[in-house]
Amino acid sequence: MDKFEKITTGLGEECGVFGAYDMSGGDVAPTIYYGLFALQHRGQESCGIAVTDTNGERKVHFKKGLGLVNEVFDSESLHALNGNLGVGHVRYSTAGASKAENAMPLVINYVKGVLAIAHNGNLTNAIELRHELERTGAIFQTTIDSEVIAYHIARERLKAGTAEAAVRNAMGKIKGAYALVVTSPRKMIGARDPFGLKPLCIGKRDDTYFLASESCAIAAVGGEFVRDVEPGEIVTFTKKGIQSDMSMAIDPAKHARCIFEYIYFARTDSTIDQVNVYHSRIIAGKALAQSYPVEADLVVGVPDSGLVAAKGYSEASGIPYGMAFHKNSYVGRTFIKPTQNERESSVKIKLNVIEEVVKDKRIVMVDDSIVRGTTCANIIRMLKKAGAQEVHVRISSPPFLYPCYFGTDVPSNEQLIAHSHTTEQIRELIGADSLGYMEVDKLKEMVGDLGYCDACFTGNYPMEVPDGDISHAFD
């Protein structure tokens, strides 16, 4: 980023998608704005909204840019986006650099009209598909794999009778993780990868239908949750109603939902595939208490995703639960700092310890993950500086040992502290008095009978994956 450095206090998020179709003809841009606002935790680098009027000319109005939703849009720009069908997107750059041209939705003009596409996930065969398209004359405007999907849908639409058939044919070519919201001049289409790696759900408010990455976004706009889009399902919304196509579905035994949705990504008030995220994190905390008991005075969670797991640990252990940190809510999960030597102080910008709460106490600190170890070490130092006698760290995920190829910003092996260090070595490096990770076989307790992907912990990928890092293959 030129002279600036991107600092993250943990994992990089995924992306969030939100679609709306008002059958009665009302403008949907303000609703999409609030839906994206509710999904802001899934990405803070860029956002965008694209709308069309199903009763008017086949034209798409859109606006997108770098920054938070409330930074990119104001009331004036929202009111300029006239249309009763639209799609929005919040982005974190798991593939492709953080720059304006990579913001979504992507708007594609072609001989059949205009498509607007929002995508959450990563393709595993994007490089091959892009090279194939380039050899046949395609010119790419971005460095994101989502454009590969857009091109394939547009090309398939030239041969297919409907937009949804084009989406289905494109799904036969793309591999990896995706939740898609596609709008054509008269339709809203949602599609989910056959493994169910990325979440997508349907909502309704009066005459307006919604597609969203999480149920919390539907609730935020006053809608009612209808159901999840099934893995491999294509749903099409027209004025005639909703159609479902399950032809791309696979054996449910092969489903592989991202377990990190339940550990970290999703908002605590969301329900994904009928599993409540809050409940999952309570279960995780209780499992940690059973596996790693310790004598302590207080259980605290690192905001935000560690808070509920900490409550679960407290309930199972009988150790009181407390709030040890003040979080600066005006800083996103990702922010810019001028120089690398200020990395250590970056945590303090986001979190500060409430000294009165932790002084002279033995603390159990619950967090969702340890990636490189630097953030965790900084937080422990802050706790001990504030007077904590002991800090016992409990992590509601197993150690990261393998990279993710499906849209979670888990870095290469060399950057994963657990890849080259034992748990005891990590404990020493971060300065904890004890350290316990979630046991892999207890992840199942969080989601019950759902099939899930835990490849970043086990190396057991649900599909063939590339040999190396593909996240910036087109930069």
Residue pLDDT, tens place only, 348-395: 678 899 999 999 999 999 999 998 888 899 999 999 999 999 999 999
CA torsion angle 424 430 433 436 (round to 10) = -60
Return the active site residues.
15
Distance of CA 461 to the CA centre of its chain: 19
- How many CB atoms sit inside 10 A of residue 139's CB? 7
C-alpha distances out from residue 213 to 141, 197, 308, Å: 25, 12, 21
Which run of H or of E encompasses 315? helix 305-317
| Intervals of CATH 3.40.50.2020 along the chain | 271-458
Whether 368 has a binding-site annotation, put simply, is yes
Whether 367 has a binding-site annotation, put simply, is yes
Whether 251 has a binding-site annotation, put simply, is no
Whether 305 has a binding-site annotation, put simply, is yes
Closest CA to 278 of 236, 247, 308, 300: 308
Class level of CATH domain 271-458: alpha beta
Q: What is the full DSSP assignment across 24-93?
A: T----HHHHHHHHHHTGGG--SEEEEEEE-TTS-S-EEEEEEES-HHHH--HHHHHT---SEEEEEEE--
pLDDT of residue 312: 98
Which residues, listed in sequence order, are joined to residue 180 by a DSSP beta bridge?
Answer: 119, 191
d(CA 418, CA 414): 10
Which residues, listed in sequence order, are joined to residue 182 by a DSSP beta bridge?
Answer: 117, 189
Whether 453 has a binding-site annotation, put simply, is yes
Q: Which two tokens mark 347?
A: 């945590």
pLDDT of residue 5: 31
Contact 227, 210 (CB under 8 A): no
Residue ranges for the chain with pLDDT beneath 70: 1-14, 93-99, 137-139, 143, 330-348, 409-412, 468-475
Helix axis angle for 163-171 and 146-159, nearest 10°, is 120
- The CATH H-level (homologous superfamily) assignment of domain 5-253 is Aminohydrolase, N-terminal nucleophile (Ntn) domain (3.60.20.10)
Closest CA to 107 of 59, 144, 53, 75: 59
- How many CB atoms sit inside 10 A of residue 133's CB? 17
Q: What is the pTM of this model?
A: 0.90
Whether 207 has a binding-site annotation, put simply, is no
Model confidence pLDDT, tens digit, residues 289-298: 999 999 999 9
Closest CA to 154 of 120, 188, 194, 116: 116
pLDDT of residue 113: 84
pLDDT of residue 202: 98
| Intervals of CATH 3.60.20.10 along the chain | 5-253
Whether 53 has a binding-site annotation, put simply, is no
